[in-house]
Amino acid sequence: MKYRVLIIGAGNIASGYDDVDSDMFLTHAHAFKCHDGFELLGFVDIDKKKANTAAKKWGTNAFFNLESAIQKFQYIDIFCIAVPDVFHFEILLKVAELKPKFVFAEKPLTQTLSESLIIKNVYSLNKIPLMVNFKRAFIPEFKFLEYEIKNNSFGKLRDFYGFYNRGLKHNASHLFDLFFRLTGEKDLILTQFIDQINDYSLSDLSYSFLAKSNSGVNFNLKSFNGNEYPIFELDFHFSAGRIRVTNAGEIIEKYKKQPSSFNGLSTIKLSESIVTSLNKSFIYSIQNIYNHLTSGEKVVSDIDDTILVMGVTEKIIKSIIK
């Protein structure tokens, strides 16, 4: 049996970033097309050129509205939502009425926390599994890193430093999700606002600030102008080591505390540098969908994960602009 998939949206993350011969899996289409457990039914996009280009590229159908796709196919198992952020809430509600087996959505899930809570309620009532594409959540190297951190391999977390751009809601959400996922922290309290940059939109500025986690970790976030260059880095300082995540998550560096050459002092030295499988994240997310549908495997990045991120993000913003 193959699960039938419809991708709503025909832009870069849906179709454009790679092709069927690429070594990297950077689009929904590539992952679903290459997995034996799925059949890609087509793309929906109000931009006819985009829909037709994507359909031709991936050998499937083009639709210019959701209704026409539903008319053609009696039942669609899985919907992927890859439309601009402002349309997520509307599309998620429409899709829920169709009661599919699974929905895979780009982040942010919705524009506001209140909207996401409505979506959670609707999807829970209809028993529809929902996954959000925080792509680093699916990578094996990050899953093992989470295991190491939570099993005290680096000691107690003291300080965290993050670097990002292009919107606190749009891009820093990935950073928040990874911080919470790796450490088990659940909240942040603003202690000092630093500055802000409009490098994405007036409704989603890039803020720099200091905060404290629920267990007292110092959380330091700095934005840089995304019009100059992209950046996404994390730096964890523990009592017995350090972890650096660079190149948007392509590299993980692990440092361990060791005796120094100076008597009575310690140092930290690089113990391992890992090239992650970041550019194959879609393979892992699609496999998680398949495993959930066939054997009940837990959804890796579910609606509760995104609600945690959205709740903290909204609280930070409200604290800054009060």
pLDDT tier at 18 (50, 70, 90 boundaries)? very high
200 token code pair? 């994405």
pLDDT in tens, 142-158: 999 999 999 999 999 99
Alpha-carbon distance of 24 to 283, in angstroms, equals: 10
Residue 149 domain boundaries: 140-276
314 domain-assigned = no
Give the pLDDT confidence score for residue 309 in this predicted structure: 97
Whichever domain contains 38, its CATH number is: 3.40.50.720
User: Same domain for 198 and 84?
Assistant: no
Whether residue 319 is contained in a domain is answered as no
Interval 271-298 mean pLDDT: 98
Q: How many whole angstroms separate alpha carbon 13 and alpha carbon 161?
A: 28
H helix intervals, 131-214: 140-150, 172-183
Residue 320 lies in a domain: no
State pLDDT tens for residues 84-130. Answer: 989 999 999 999 999 999 999 999 899 999 999 999 999 999 999 99
Q: Which sign, positive or negative, has the C-alpha torsion 98, 104, 106, 112?
A: positive
- 215 against 261, higher pLDDT: 215
The per-residue pLDDT for 258 is: 87
Per-residue pLDDT band at 315 (split at 50, 70, 90)? very high
Q: Among 53-57, 121-125, 266-270, 291-295, where is mean pLDDT lowest?
A: 266-270
What CATH number corresponds to the domain at position 164? 3.30.360.10
Q: Is the pLDDT of residue 4 over 90?
A: yes
174 and 212 together in one domain: yes
Per-residue pLDDT at 263 exceeds 80: no
What is the pLDDT at residue 278? 97
* 75: in domain: yes
State how far the Cα of 29 lies from the Cα of 10, in Å rounded to an integer: 9
pLDDT of 264 > 80? The answer is: no
Q: Is the pLDDT of residue 261 over 90?
A: no
Residue 198 pLDDT grade (very low, low, confident, very high; cuts 50, 70, 90): very high
Same-domain check for residues 124 and 237: no
Q: 295 and 263 share a domain?
A: no
Average pLDDT over residues 199-227: 96
The total domain count for the chain is: 2
pLDDT tier for residue 262 given thresholds of 50, 70 and 90: confident
Rounded to an integer, the average pLDDT of 7-30 is: 96
The secondary structure of 224-241 as a DSSP string is --TTT----EEEEEETTE
Mean pLDDT of the chain: 96
pLDDT value of position 53:
98
What's residue 260's pLDDT?
A: 77
Same domain, 171 and 70: no
Show Cβ contacts of residue 319 under 8 Å, excluding neighbours closer than 6 positions: 190, 193
Q: Provide the H-helix boundaries in 126-162.
A: 140-150
- Radius of gyration of the chain from its Cα atoms, rounded to whole angstroms: 21
Within 10 angstroms of residue 174's Cβ, the number of other Cβ atoms is 21
